[in-house]
Amino acid sequence: MRHWLEIFYRTSAGTLLRRRELNQDDGKKRAALAALTHVEDGMALGVGTGSTVDFFIDALAERPHRKLRLVSSSERSTERLGRLGLDVTELSAVGDVDLYVDGADEATQHLHLIKGGGGALTREKIVAGAARKFICIVDDSKLVGRLGKFPLPVEVIPMARSFVARQLVKAGGQPVWRQDFVTDNGNQIIDVRNLDISNPVEMETRINQIPGVVTVGLFAHRGADLLLVGSAEGVEIMT
């Protein structure tokens, strides 16, 4: 009897997990399609990185726009765009970006974000900084009241990793080196848990001032201009 009960509960848990994943994918797709409506012919369009952006890239390829100049925030997205027949242009050749579409690991109703779970935070921050408008697309599981449950990524120059980690401990965090991972820029990532990010703007400034930090995955000084939160029921728009 116990054996069958264990199978039942294990199967039920797996079914619930799969259903949750499908609902998240549905929310990601809805947010991605909503962002696509903001894309206009002739735009310089920045494309971010991540599973939600993958849906956006796929939809973009299915509904091609004329004369788009695409700027990518990562080698991963560049490869996916190219595989679907979409050419990518260097940011230096484009100048300002009209629209940047990217996801987030966490987002608040104040449009502050944590990004960098995929390790592309520096290039993402550069493209966001160059963009006239930044649309962030997430499923509703990414919407939080306060940032910080997701470990905060910090890209560091390799020789500075231990030094930066000690400074992050002084700031109240628990840094962990993301081993066997190198960013597109040839650097390393430290993921920081348990930071008090009640003031994201102040924390972003504080971490960015540590020597050896390339950038931190807090997008508070330059947060999103528009947040599209997808769910199984629809898309919530936050400005």
Q: Quickly list DSSP for 153-212.
A: EEEE-GGGHHHHHHHHHHTT-EEEE-TT---TTS-EEEEEES---SSHHHHHHHHHTSTT
Give the right CATH number for 10-143+221-238 from 3.40.50.1360, 3.30.450.40, 1.20.1740.10, 1.20.1250.20.
Answer: 3.40.50.1360
Q: What is the pTM of this model?
A: 0.90
| Numbers of helices and strands, H then E, in the chain | 7, 13
Nearest to 189 by CA among 163, 154, 218, 148: 154
Question: Residue ranges of the domains in the chain?
Answer: 10-143+221-238, 152-219
Q: Are 73 and 123 in contact (CB under 8 A)?
A: yes
Question: In the chain, what percentage of residues exceed pLDDT 70?
Answer: 91
pLDDT for 223-235, tens place per residue? 999 999 999 899 9
- Asked whether residue 171 carries a pLDDT value surpassing 70, the answer given is yes
Q: How far apart are CA 34 and CA 230, in angstroms?
A: 9
Residue 171 CA: distances (Å) to CA of 33, 89, 168, 208: 39, 39, 5, 12
Question: In the chain, what percentage of residues exceed pLDDT 90?
Answer: 87
Q: Kindly indicate whether the domain formed by 152-219 is annotated with CATH number 3.40.50.620.
A: no
Q: Are 46 and 100 in contact (CB under 8 A)?
A: yes
What's the pLDDT score for residue 13? 52
Catalytic residues: 124
pLDDT for 32-81, tens place per residue? 999 999 999 999 999 999 999 999 999 999 987 789 999 999 999 999 99
Q: Which residue has the higher pLDDT, 154 or 4?
A: 154
- Asked whether residue 19 carries a pLDDT value surpassing 70, the answer given is no
